[in-house]
Amino acid sequence: MEGQAMWLTFFALPLIGQAAAAAGWCYTSQSASCGPEFWKTFSHNCGGENQSPVNIDRAKISKDKSLGDIVFGGYDQAPPGKWRIMNDGHTVLVSLDGDNTPAPIDISGAGLPNVYRALQFHFHWGSLKQDGSEHYIDGKQYPMELHIVHLSAKYKSIADAKADPNGLAVLGLLFRVTPTDNANYNTIVDAMKNVTLEGESVDLASTFRLDSLLPSADKLSRYYRYQGSLTTPDCAEAVIWTVFEEPVNISRSQLNVFVDSVHFTATGEERKKMTNNFRPPQPLRNRKISASRDATANRGTMRGTSLPALLLTFLIGQHMVHAHRLS
């Protein structure tokens, strides 16, 4: 009996671990057997209490007056040199760190406990038929989401930062489809056509101001803040999330380059389109989401209000109709 138990410990468990690691995690659109519901078998963190993304229910959150303007450093300059875009088999990402970005690009202020340096940005999207953001607002999913990943100045690498709940700061930007192209995304959209297979990478034709990927400057003080995790394994609970209320505009044809031209698979493998590379919302559990000073919060005052309050709203409405007729 004891011998059997030893055998299990020393042989069976490491083998199971290896098999899982070799197969790797995926999204359900790639394979039914390694999608988000299985991630906790790859990494224990993915079953944790503080996971991302989440649904931001604006009827349930309140404002934190201390969440003011984000201080963007270097976001308004196109650095010299090159930025590389690559297909890593799960997303398309652009690396910002290293020798090619000599002047720091960083964020601070806005309740962040430190300065956070930009490392990379990447996207999560749906398909021709389905939206694909990770965060939801009021139960609504958006067509796509951009993540700009920043590392606390305390640390040298993401690996170092993972044990610290404040180790990383990620900006989450939702998209809305508009009739006209967003020309600020042309450099990325053009390069997507050169990274359609896993492992492919190419230098972007030019660098650009990172703030050109964001909504207009006057909307950047409207955001939601909570404590969460990376949204891919190992799902480390090391992220201060900032999700902007104002979406970024993009045209349908630009969005379709994301959802309809990139593949999960490498050259030589059976091609599988990279679609629906998002993790669904995770339980909020004991966490609180805060709205910045300027963001919309406690919307939906109609929802969950008492009958007398609804009657009062109705009566005021009637009164205003009358008042309007009289004037």
Ligand X SMILES: *[C@@H]1O[C@H](CO)[C@@H](O)[C@H](O)[C@H]1NC(C)=O
Query: Which amino acids are annotated catalytic?
Result: 90, 155
Considering beta carbons, is residue 147 or 162 the nearer one to Zn ion? 147
Of 246-275, binders to ligand X (CB under 6 A) are: 249
Considering only residues 202, 209, 212, 287, which one is a binding residue for ligand X as defined by CB under 6 A? Answer: 202
Residue whose C-alpha is closest to residue 191's, from 99, 262, 268:
262
Residues 6+ apart with CB under 8 A from 131: 141, 142, 143, 144
> Cβ(100)–Cβ(118) under 8 Å?
no
Among 178, 184, 212, 256, binds ligand X (CB under 6 A): 178
User: Considering beta carbons, is residue 221 or 249 the nearer one to ligand X?
Assistant: 249
CA dihedral angle for residue 117, residue 122, residue 125, residue 128, rounded to 10 degrees: 140
Alpha carbon distance, N-terminus to C-terminus of the chain: 92
With CA atoms as reference, report the closest residue to 206 among 184, 234, 224: 184
For residues 169 and 89, give the distance between their C-alpha atoms in angstroms, rounded to a whole number.
23
Instruction: Please choose which of ligand X, Zn ion, none residue 194 contacts, taking the beta carbon within 5 to 8 angstroms, the exact cut-off set by kind.
Output: ligand X
State the Cα torsion 11-17-19-22 to the nearest 10°. -140
CB of 137 to ligand X, least distance (A): 16
Residue with Cβ nearer ligand X (205 or 321): 205
CB of 79 to Zn ion, least distance (A): 22
Question: Tokens standing for 97?
Answer: 């760190």
Structure tokens at 121: 């940005």
158 interacts with ligand X by CB under 6 A: no
Using the rule CB under 6 A, give the single segment among 46-54, 188-196, 250-258, 315-323 that binds ligand X.
188-196
* Identity of the residue, 247 or 281, whose beta carbon is nearer to ligand X in the bound complex: 247
Q: Is 191 in the site for ligand X (CB under 6 A)?
A: yes
Please report how close the Cβ of residue 238 comes to Zn ion at its closest, in angstroms.
13
- Per partner kind, with CB cut-offs from 5 to 8 A, the member of Zn ion, ligand X, none near residue 147 is Zn ion
Tell me whether residue 142 or residue 155 sits nearer to ligand X (CB atom). Answer: 142
Among 9, 62, 186, 216, the residue binding ligand X under the rule CB under 6 A is 216
Both tokens assigned to 256: 């379709």
Window 220-249: residues binding ligand X (CB under 6 A): 249
Binds Zn ion (CB under 5 A): choice among 147, 150, 162, 225: 147
Burial string for 118-146 (b: 16+ CB within 10 Å, else e) reads bbbbbbbbbbeeebbbbbbbeeebbbbbb
d(CA 148, CA 243): 11
Residues near ligand X (CB under 6 A): 178, 190-191, 193-194, 202, 204-205, 216, 249
